Amino acid sequence: MIRNNISFLNEINLVNQNWKSSSRIFGAAIEMWVEKKLNCECSGIFINKKANQKAYDAICNKCSKKIKLNLQKKIFKPNKNGELKILSSEYKTTLKSLNQSNGWDLYLLAYNLEDYKIKQILMIKSSDINEECVIPRKIGI
């Protein structure tokens, strides 16, 4: 686990000023920050995929490692059972992408709305993610 206090204010200023949704604004800004500041283990840089493409969010320009980003306002913490549960992408798409070309590493980034800083970065290696880790969302009645 890496805890950080890294500003992405420069990237906020590059986001479309007509957008109203804070999650969309912060998501786009942090994705830009990842491309500029987060390096792959091989020292390559991550290149973002186009918005709304499924399976993963960026790919390393050097080793082709894929990463998936999950962003939220709160710090990621395990529950009472020691499990870290994360609401993420569509179930079938996630399973399919895990089984293709060595899957992807998952980066969990917690950010602060008030000071435009990343408060936490967790990385879960693709080797630690399998089908048993992916739980379908419960559908309400």
User: Alpha-carbon distance 70 to 48, whole Å?
Assistant: 14
* pLDDT for the residue 117: 93
Residue 98 to residue 28: CA distance in whole angstroms: 24
What is the domain extent for residue 115?
2-131
The pTM for the full model equals: 0.83
- Tens digit of each residue's pLDDT (9 = 90 or more) over 73-131: 999 998 898 888 776 667 677 777 777 766 789 899 999 989 999 999 999 898 887 77
CATH of the domain at 48: 3.40.210.30
Residue 24, in any domain of the structure: yes
Q: How does the average pLDDT of the chain come out, rounded?
A: 84
Starting at the edge strand found earlier in the chain, the sheet holding 105-112 runs 2-7, 117-124, 105-112, 66-72, 58-60, 46-48
Considering its fold, how many domains does the chain have in total?
1
